[in-house]
Structure 1
Amino acid sequence: MLAGAALVSCASSASGAEVSGPGVAEVDRSRLPISARDLVEVGEISGVSLSPDGQYAAFRVSRASVATNSIALDWYVVSLAGGTPVRIGSGGVAQHGGSGVLLEQAALWDLDSGGFRFRALVDGAVGIWHWRRGSEAEREIVAPGDISAMTLSQDGSHLRYSVGAPRKDIADAERQAYVDGALVDHQLDIMEPIAGGTIEDGKRIMQRLPGNWFERRRLLSEKPEETVVINLRPDSPSALPTFADEGPRQGRRVQSRDGTIAELEHDGGTKALAITRPDGSRTICEIDLCRSEKVAAIAWRPGKDMLLLFERAGSARENIWLWKIGATSARRLAETDGAQRSEMRPPRCAVGADKMICAEASAINPPKLVAIDYSGYVRVLADPNEALRSRIVAVATSFEWDRGVTGILLRPRATSTRPPVVVQYYHCAGFLKGGVGDEIPMLPLVESGIAVLCMDRVRAPEGSGTDQSYALALSDIDAALDGLDADGLIDGERVGIGGLSFGSEVALWAIRHSRRFAAATLASGQMSPIYYWANALPGRGFTEMLDRYWKIGDPDVDKQRWRQLAGLDDVGGINTPVLMQLPESEARFVIELHAKLKRAGKPAELYAFADEPHIKKQPTHKLAVYQRNLDWYRFWLKGEEDTDPQKSDQYARWRSYSAGQSLLAPAP
């Protein structure tokens, strides 16, 4: 969200600045409510890049389709002078990282600004496609293996790209593993189907675990990539090409065109922003902002001796400051929102000489593309979600509590009673579709009269063990709920909690250690001895990671710690109805937990989704998860049931759980 419409942080839950759905004076009862499908099919903007002349921006729009169970990728170009964005071609088949995150890239512009290149998976091959103004994008290069990266020489005469293992070799390796059997070693995920636990371009692909976490990669990904350089001007041979390695344009260390380096560094525990000229002379920024731990990244303003400083402002929001080297103050340009900074995706803003172009989103505002000039003026360049935005009537309020804990409360705009609330704890980045992993249908919950509290993670001190972070999270959640309840913003007696990954671990911890939660949803696997032994083979590095972060060892030896973390010995005390919707491979980690809950007569259900990584990526699966979570919270927090006759069996089960709750062990 931009300056002038920002969610304002509050010192406590006693007060808060509100932002309502845009352009809505009062709730229009005739409008079409926001549905789970609306959230699945939101258009996402990524890969924003500026042409070298600063006149055009390229960007990619990804949009899921429930009807086709696929994600369409389309590249656009728009003039910064104004006008309608022009679609220049398809980005091919959507590709995802090992955890399920959609892979992004920025376009590679020609030096004359007349076109750009991008990589796309088409007909089973990731090749290079080239678009020139006045024509359609065409496939330019296909190699024996998939192309993973590319760059131009400084004079634009040569193209350098990297190629992975030949696709034929990968297919042969997959066939051999299928026919001869796959060796169970530290790189094989034994919980995933051996033939491959994910589908890409309509084909099942085998994967391996190259590290100690779960970022899966294709077979033969460990093979060194081949570097290829081609002459783009074969009729005009040039000298040996020079490829400048300038590093990232945004980050903690950035280099200007003249070789000046700006770097966020720590000197004796004190953070500083240092500028080092090519002659070795140094300038240290003396203003408070430059020493702030909240500065997440810096970038040079092209052609100027100025830096942009991106300062964290809560959740995924950032203040953008402009600082002239040597000045005694910086000027705040705008506040942006849209996504967590990550090495896996390009920055949300492309920085030009005259303006920045940003993929912008916020809690109740779906993504759009905006231009921000250096006076702070903001103009919308593209809005793929304009129709959806006009239907949003929720109220979003940003909070900051003790210890810098931040969060956003979404609630109905018009209500005569205090609404129940669902808590999602982890990150609150950009448009709040479903929180981390897109699992909790936030706006449809608000449409149903249920508020949503999204809270940003705060870690316990390093070395204290992950359970201390869980306990800290529960303490922060309790304090936030108590404050919101006291202010009359929520009904503190009707509270649900859910999440993915760390957020799901917090949710399970919460229903084990608190009686205030009336419903819970989990989206990923949990700590268990099965989880340990499935990943404990020597060479994996997994057990060392558990010892470092969880402070836990062998289940046969470290029994007390496993009782504390896994929760398998205290299912008798879990009375909160819990719905688990997990990827197939991670559902196997909770076999014991689920069986013990069911055998103890607890209100629990487990759904397993095939061919999904950690973050579910198939649109039909996302819709199913959203809708079932919506039904679950409506049932347990409000006693409401969907009238769809196809859900009769679902509600018959849930009513039986509800009737049986009186027989459950009472809270101590």
Structure 2
Amino acid sequence: MKLRWHVADIDGRSTPVLLDGGVARPDASGALAETAPVWDADSGGFRYLALKDGVQGIWHWRDDMPLEREVVDEADITEFGPSGDGRELKYSIGATRSAIAKAESSAYRDGVLVDGSINLNQPIAGGVIEDGRRVMRRFSSPWFDNRRILWNVEATEKTLMPRDPAHRPAPSAPGQGLESRAANGDIAEIVEERSEQRLRVTRADGRVVACVAAPCRSGKLRAVAWRGNHDALLLFVKDSSERETVWLWTVGESEAKRLTVTSGALRVPGQPPRCAVGEDALYCADAQPLVPPRLVRTDFASGRTQVLAEPNRALAARIAAKAEPMTWPGGFTGYFLKPIDTNGPLPVVVHYYTCEGFLKGGSGDEIPMLPLTEHGIAVLCIDAVRAPRAAGMEGSYNLALKTIGSALDELAAQGKIDPSRVGIGGLSFGSSVALWAIRKSRRFAAATIASGQISPHYYWMNALPDRGFTSVLEEIWGLGPPEATPDRWKTVTPLWDIESLATPLLMQVPESEAQSNVELHTRLRRAGRPAEMVVFADELHIKYQPAHKRASYERNLDWYRFWLKGEEDDEPEKAEQYRRWRHYRAGQSLPVSAR
């Protein structure tokens, strides 16, 4: 996957400059690993990390100079930024490329001692593709976080003085998060006081100013950031579907000014925020349910929002759908997405997890939302709400199923959906909800999941004493060793409840999670259930290879069209697929119920 930078003037009057950003690297889950650029002090250019030709280095672009690879080291550069005064560049490296190559060669030649760092669900000799070649990864936490082999080599910090003083990096801007430190030493922080969320500013001389404006007392503050050299803060307040309402608060005033609502990309640790705070405006990578990502500027003085760059304009012009915001009791939010020229009752596919930003595929981009609407199938996307921990994970599953049922009943009563033609699918927690839903309800005519499921194999593959995994599993699911907690296993997993799984089920899973589903798939097939499993090589939790994402997307579309509408794609290469599916349908015995 190739990356590109889009450089746009803040007045939006010129054509954006496109820069080669190298090739993508997947993070621990498979999502795109992101780094923020570092601008030159005069704003005439910037530096960024790029992986090209097997080397991750610092590249430098200036408006008056060609793009160049400025810094290359014997190890890949993992982080970089300005020194405190902006006179120098600082960067970090880990193990050298030669040391990594030696470790990979040794692992392949000599074998690998199995310990808590080894993921036996992945090929030992690789498992992740970076810049056209397989690389080895190891677990880096008790859960499933993973990084390149030798990730735990102590980092080395280096500094570099730019050759041209005019090209020095700008000093770091005040951070954006639960705490933000101004250039003069003032600190703004979101704190919990007596079980309530508060925002306070601690001056450099020790004085404390508490914010009493409504956004500060909402309990939904996600982040704060100083507005340049002004004594004012940007307040980012959580809205529905991971959107954020942005407020401007002058320190000490009793009210704040509402600026805009941002698109709601998830705030993920280690990834740059989607909005940058300038001296006079807020700049955001904005998206809406039916508007693909674009760069927008919101002026602090006027509140006016201007589109600066729209790289997905052609895609936006093709969209012929309507997204209806929805809310339900208990704090649930979501969208009902349908074809713009059809009123129903329509078949519908449910996605339960996150509905932030542009509705292209939901969590992990597994549900082909807009292609479904193009084929006359609606989509119901619901943002997940978890039950109290005391209810166990099945409490969250049951809460999800109850909410999904209520939403479907409401839409059916309005004549918008056909309750006998309902599908459900998702990734990760969303896939577990989907599997629970078809196990506990007869509402669903088809289902797709994209992740491995909890099973005894899943347990034993991750239960080595030096891993720390089992304590997490016990805390979240209440699961111990299968022989020690058999009742909990029978509650959480469907392996001893195969007779309840009559809904046609398509599993499209990454190679790193496939083994956890082997028993489920085999039991379903031996019981004559309409089930299929497709495995994608060299994939992590979230599929990151474009060819795999397209194949998964297309097969899910075919699956829902077949089971919800009886439609088949007439492409000759799909003939065998439909032959199998027609065979499953002929053997299907249990009818679909509206409840």
What TM-score do you get using the length of structure 1 for normalisation?
Answer: 0.86
Structure 2 matches for 1:143-158, cutoff 5 A? Answer: 143-158=73-88
Residue 342 of structure 1 corresponds to 268
Alignment CA distance shift 1:234-1:577 (3 Å): closer
Structure 2 matches for 1:254-269, cutoff 5 A? Answer: 254-269=180-195
Residue 431 of structure 2 corresponds to 504
Deviation string 1:378-414 (CA, Å, 9 cap, x unpaired) is 1111111111111111000111110110111100111
Residue 214 of structure 1 corresponds to 144
| Per-residue deviation, 1:295 | 1.4
Distance (whole Å) between structure 2 residues aligned to residue 485 and residue 498 of structure 1:
19
Structure 2 matches for 1:430-445, cutoff 5 A? Answer: 430-445=357-372
Deviation string 1:59-98 (CA, Å, 9 cap, x unpaired) is xxxxxxxxxxxx2211232211232344353111111102
Question: Do residues 205 (structure 1) and 135 (structure 2) align?
Answer: yes
- Stretches of 4+ moved more than 6 A in 1? 241-246, 663-668
Task: Pick one of 545, 552, 556 that aligns with 2:472.
Answer: 545
| Per-residue deviation, 1:242 | 13
Task: Pick one of 458, 462, 465 that aligns with 2:392.
Answer: 465
Alignment CA distance shift 1:389-1:458 (3 Å): same
> RMSD across aligned C-alpha pairs, in angstroms?
2.0
Alignment CA distance shift 1:666-1:345 (3 Å): closer
Residue 536 of structure 2 corresponds to 609
Residue 370 of structure 1 corresponds to 296
What TM-score do you get using the length of structure 2 for normalisation?
Answer: 0.96
Task: Pick one of 100, 108, 119 that aligns with 1:189.
Answer: 119
Q: Which amino acid aligns with 1:571?
A: I
| Per-residue deviation, 1:302 | 1.3
Task: Pick one of 232, 235, 252 that aligns with 1:306.
Answer: 232
Task: Pick one of 521, 524, 534 that aligns with 2:461.
Answer: 534
Structure 2 matches for 1:346-361, cutoff 5 A? Answer: 346-361=272-287
Residue 315 of structure 1 corresponds to 241
Task: Pick one of 16, 25, 28 that aligns with 1:98.
Answer: 28
Q: Which amino acid aligns with 2:320?
A: V
Task: Pick one of 202, 210, 217 that aligns with 1:291.
Answer: 217
SS of structure 1 residue aligned to 2:516:
helix
Contact 1:463–1:549 (Cα < 8 Å) also in 2: no
| Per-residue deviation, 1:533 | 0.2
Residue 527 of structure 2 corresponds to 600
| Per-residue deviation, 1:217 | 0.8
Distance (whole Å) between structure 1 residues aligned to residue 84 and residue 30 of structure 2:
35
Task: Pick one of 341, 349, 352 that aligns with 1:414.
Answer: 341
Deviation string 1:562-585 (CA, Å, 9 cap, x unpaired) is 011111011111110000000112
Q: Which amino acid aligns with 2:212?
A: E
Distance (whole Å) between structure 1 residues aligned to residue 110 and residue 356 of structure 2:
45
Contact 2:83–2:89 (Cα < 8 Å) also in 1: yes
Q: Which amino acid aligns with 1:424?
A: H
Residue 178 of structure 1 corresponds to 108
Contact 1:154–1:243 (Cα < 8 Å) also in 2: no
**Greater length-normalized contact order (CA 8 Å, ≥ 6 residues apart):** 1
Task: Pick one of 288, 293, 315 that aligns with 1:388.
Answer: 315
Contact 1:252–1:297 (Cα < 8 Å) also in 2: yes
Contact 1:412–1:447 (Cα < 8 Å) also in 2: yes
Q: How many residues align?
A: 593
Question: Do residues 659 (structure 1) and 586 (structure 2) align?
Answer: yes
Structure 2 matches for 1:101-116, cutoff 5 A? Answer: 101-116=31-46
Unaligned runs of 5+ residues in structure 2 are none
SS of structure 1 residue aligned to 2:364:
coil
Task: Pick one of 553, 556, 560 that aligns with 1:629.
Answer: 556
SS of structure 1 residue aligned to 2:326:
strand
Deviation string 1:5-62 (CA, Å, 9 cap, x unpaired) is xxxxxxxxxxxxxxxxxxxxxxxxxxxxxxxxxxxxxxxxxxxxxxxxxxxxxxxxxx
Distance (whole Å) between structure 2 residues aligned to residue 664 and residue 452 of structure 1:
22
SS of structure 2 residue aligned to 1:136:
strand
Residue 63 of structure 1 corresponds to none
| Per-residue deviation, 1:288 | 3.1
Q: Which amino acid aligns with 1:652?
A: R
Distance (whole Å) between structure 2 residues aligned to residue 243 and residue 667 of structure 1:
61
Contact 2:508–2:533 (Cα < 8 Å) also in 1: yes
Alignment CA distance shift 1:175-1:415 (3 Å): same
Q: Which amino acid aligns with 2:411?
A: L
Q: Which amino acid aligns with 2:98?
A: K
Question: Do residues 253 (structure 1) and 183 (structure 2) align?
Answer: no
| Per-residue deviation, 1:462 | 2.8
Contact 1:88–1:137 (Cα < 8 Å) also in 2: no
SS of structure 1 residue aligned to 2:76:
strand
Alignment CA distance shift 1:416-1:163 (3 Å): closer
Alignment CA distance shift 1:341-1:368 (3 Å): same
| Per-residue deviation, 1:656 | 1.1
Distance (whole Å) between structure 1 residues aligned to residue 480 and residue 466 of structure 2:
16
Alignment CA distance shift 1:218-1:263 (3 Å): same
| Per-residue deviation, 1:538 | 0.7
Distance (whole Å) between structure 2 residues aligned to residue 605 and residue 75 of structure 1:
40
Residue 582 of structure 1 corresponds to 509
Contact 1:74–1:87 (Cα < 8 Å) also in 2: no
Residue 129 of structure 1 corresponds to 59
Contact 2:16–2:309 (Cα < 8 Å) also in 1: no
Deviation string 1:323-348 (CA, Å, 9 cap, x unpaired) is 11121211111111041111132111
SS of structure 2 residue aligned to 1:105:
coil
Deviation string 1:529-560 (CA, Å, 9 cap, x unpaired) is 00000000011111000011111111111000
SS of structure 2 residue aligned to 1:630:
helix
Contact 1:98–1:216 (Cα < 8 Å) also in 2: yes
Contact 2:283–2:298 (Cα < 8 Å) also in 1: yes
Distance (whole Å) between structure 2 residues aligned to residue 577 and residue 341 of structure 1:
35
Contact 2:419–2:594 (Cα < 8 Å) also in 1: no
